[in-house]
Amino acid sequence: MRASDKPASPLKSARLKIWRGTSRDNGRYEEFDVPFEDGDSVLDGLVRIRMQQQPDLAIRFSCFNANVCKECTMLIDGEVQYACIAKLHPGLIQLDPVPNLPVLRDLVTDSLSHKERF
């Protein structure tokens, strides 16, 4: 057997309820079932959804689970958290864009310095 082919633990399932839309008023929640192993993060789940179910889901991330780029900030069950370190758990998890910033699309907000934009 090759490294990384073997699941670390039996698969569980989380249901992610995700805000989809181009503002806080114009949109809806969509729900996705995501298989996961113990220790997997919310970002792992979102990447899996993009890969297998909904490639046009908009999220920000760069460093992937290392928690240094800080791009994946979102509201997870009502609390501002990094998706890359928040763990998946069985049952419903609600994801919203961070508050206090304009929503661009889905979980992506206008979080960049305006001096780095056109």
Partner 1 sequence: MDEVIELATDVLVAGGGAAGMFAAVAAVRNGAKAILIDKNVIGRGGASIMAQMTCAAALGEAEPDDPQLHLADTLEAGRGLCNEDLAALLCEGAPQRIRELEAWKVNWARADDGKINQVKAPGHSRKRCVYVDFLSTGAAICAALRNKVSRNSDIRRLSNVSLTDVVTRDGEAIGAVGFDVESAAPIMIKAPAVVLALGGMTKMFKRTTSPNNLAGEGVGIALRAGARLIDLEFLQFYPNGHLAPRMVGLDPTTWEPTRVKLGGRLLNGNGEEFLQNYGEAQGERYSTTRDALTYAIYKEVESGRGSPHAGVYLSFQHIGESALRAALGPVIEIFKRNNIDLTRQPVEVFPIAHYQMGGVEVDTDMASCVPGLYAAGELAGGANGANRLSGNALPEALVFGERAGEKAARFAARRKAPAWDMSAALPEVELIRAVRGQNEGRGGPSPTALMSDVKELMWHKVGPFRTARALNEAHDRLCAMRERGLRAAAVSRERVHNASLVEWFELRNGLLAAEALALSALNRRESRGAHQRDDFPETSAQYEKNQRLSLTNGKLVSSFEGVERARLR
* Residues 6 or more apart whose Cβ sits within 8 Å of residue 24: 97, 103
Q: Stretches 12-20, 26-34, 94-102, 109-117: which one binds partner 1 (CB under 8 A)?
A: 109-117
Is residue 115 within the footprint of partner 1 (CB under 8 A)?
yes
d(CA 15, CA 48): 12
d(CA 77, CA 38): 19
Minimum gap (Å) between residue 29 Cβ and partner 1: 18
d(CA 106, CA 15): 17
Minimum gap (Å) between residue 34 Cβ and partner 1: 15
Is residue 116 within the footprint of partner 1 (CB under 8 A)?
yes
Residues in 42-61 at the binding interface with partner 1, rule: CB under 8 A: 44, 50-52, 55-61
Residue with tokens 């979080």: 111
Measured in Å, how far apart are the chain's first and last C-alpha atoms?
50
The site for partner 1 (CB under 8 A) is made up of 1-6, 8, 22, 37-41, 44, 50-52, 55-71, 84-85, 87, 104-106, 108, 112-113, 115-118
